[in-house]
A and B are shown apart, each in its own frame.
Chain A
């Protein structure tokens, strides 16, 4: 008897007992659904964290020289926190000193920011992220300008009170009108809008478009940073592979400037996209480690259910086995029939599980900001697991069936 024949027998039986078959494959179904859904959600979160979170806040091949890390997801002890606060802040001179000593081709921008209120006419936009920086900032952030222009190096040198604003701020403050050239006030000081940045979207539901960018030494600078003090020097290397080199150069320069002895730790910090992701990577690694255990449990349960169903099937169909043996079925024909039947049941469970997993991933994708992408390898693993569980669960019942004495089997009711 060929394998094809065995598969045909198996599907005939499964079709004849639809409900029972469905219940018996539910364990495998849940296991595979879980596998597909969790893998796609975790991978989706991974991509979200990398694309949106890290790259939106910091950017690829970019690092920031800071007094202390800006994105901290780990628990920080009180002592560490106090040490961070005692550190000297980054001054204009620190930034220029480091910039001069980085040999790796890179783009630099002084950076300072805080929340301020921006008003236009009688309207006030509260909690606007005001950034004081240099003209290179727009290149580092890859901001696309939809209207007007960015400010120039001359305007930075001259500390001109000009603003490039995020799209949401422009829409809220000056709805329905061209924001270019409009006079706005920040902390009582007059500014002129010269450009609008393209919409950036949201991160964890928070708008990334409620900001304004001005030259770092413009009149309102006291609102965001003390005089001569910066939040960060942003460095973006032209070549992504050389970021670590630039980082080392910056570290050496900073240690020299702060006159740190070899045994003294850095009293400054570098924030990178990867650094922001370390905690997340820890979480996702734990999820990926726990996943096989959870999937294995449901598959073992599924396998036991299928084995039970097959044992029941063997005793229910003893007479059928007797008939088949009388007609010339060999042991291996009976064995193949029942193993294939178990494998078919469990593969059907796996296929349904994949379908359900895809639906779940799609629902997550549609209802949450997570891009839950289904990993092709998880689908392949699902199919392989389904077939394997079925074969493993089918072998014992099948071998019992194949060893039945045809005379006894034929007499069974």
Chain B
């Protein structure tokens, strides 16, 4: 489903040119549950942005569902994000003044789905993450775990090809984190492709495949949930650290 070939991404930092990704090749099949790991500065944020079609690569190819998305225009990328990708962020990124229901409806608004169908689908998505009784609550009336569930419902509501989670448990306590991981596991069992970017080995351990990035390259790609996590680098390279900060 995802075919990535020699993907690079360079940033101009003043006069310096920083390579955040130095040629990543990766295939991800439908219904995989994959964790992308790496120390800070390894290029995992850049990887996440490229996978999520928020950014375009400097060179290389990114095929998503048979479409070469690495050269699309802004608006075409917006359409791909809307249809194919469901984001779950570390900081939830819900609209603070909107209710849970309205937050979940948002992707459907941009997909051009009409009012009644939108509401039904949003309610179904909220029901799926166990929040059927919280639809009219605003984010500040919900706990962290509930907020992340709203975000997951929002990510799923347009039936995307990929659920793309960026440190989904980074702002949650361990009990809640486990609950969220349980939700991910259930979704995966239901056929959903899940890509999770994290630096926490405990969280990555829930995935069935782990890709470790280091210095903009794939360091290891291993299957099995009980894998050995990466060992942190003693001192990150200054160049790579700067790229990671971008």
Contact = CB atoms under 8 A, between A and B. Distances in A.
Interface stretch (B61-69, B78-86, B178-186): B78-86
Given A5-B109, A406-B54, A330 B79 contact: yes
Nearest to A16: B97
Interface string B44-74: 0000010010110000000000000000001
A323 B98 CA distance: 13
Nearest to B107: A327
B239 interface: no
Contacts of B78: 325, 328-331, 333
A329 B110 contact: yes
Contact of B55 (A12, A328, A329, A407): A407
A319 B106 contact: no
A226 B92 CA distance: 100
Considering residues A331, A332, A406, which has the most beta carbons from chain B within 10 angstroms of its beta carbon? A406
A330 B110 CA distance: 8
B197 to A, nearest CB: 14
A320 to B, nearest CB: 6
Given A324-B106, A329-B110, A330-B78, A407 B49 contact: yes
Contact of B93 (A2, A5, A326, A331): A326
B12 interface: no
A291 interface: no
Contacts of A326: 52, 54, 81, 87, 93
Contact of B82 (A5, A320, A328): A328
A197 to B, nearest CB: 69
A145 interface: no
A327 B55 contact: no
Contacts of A330: 74-75, 78-79, 110
B112 interface: yes
A329 B106 CA distance: 9
B87 A328 contact: no
Centre residue among A12, A322, A326, A330 by max chain B CB count within 10 A? A326
A3 to B, nearest CB: 12
A407 B97 contact: no
Nearest to A13: B97
Contact of B74 (A1, A323, A331): A331
A410 interface: yes
Contact of B110 (A319, A328, A407): A328
A13 B97 CA distance: 8
B98 A12 contact: yes
B110 A1 contact: yes
Interface string B110-146: 1110000000000000000000000000000000000
A2 to B, nearest CB: 8
Given A327-B154, A333-B78, 9 more contacts: A12-B97, A320-B95, A323-B95, A327-B110, A328-B79, A329-B110, A330-B78, A330-B79, A410-B93
Which 7 residue pairs spanning A and B have beta carbons closest together?
A328-B82, A328-B110, A330-B78, A330-B75, A327-B107, A16-B97, A323-B93
Interface of B: 49, 52, 54-55, 74-75, 78-79, 81-83, 87, 89, 93-95, 97-98, 106-107, 109-112, 154, 158
Interface of A: 1-2, 5, 12-13, 16, 319-320, 322-333, 406-407, 410
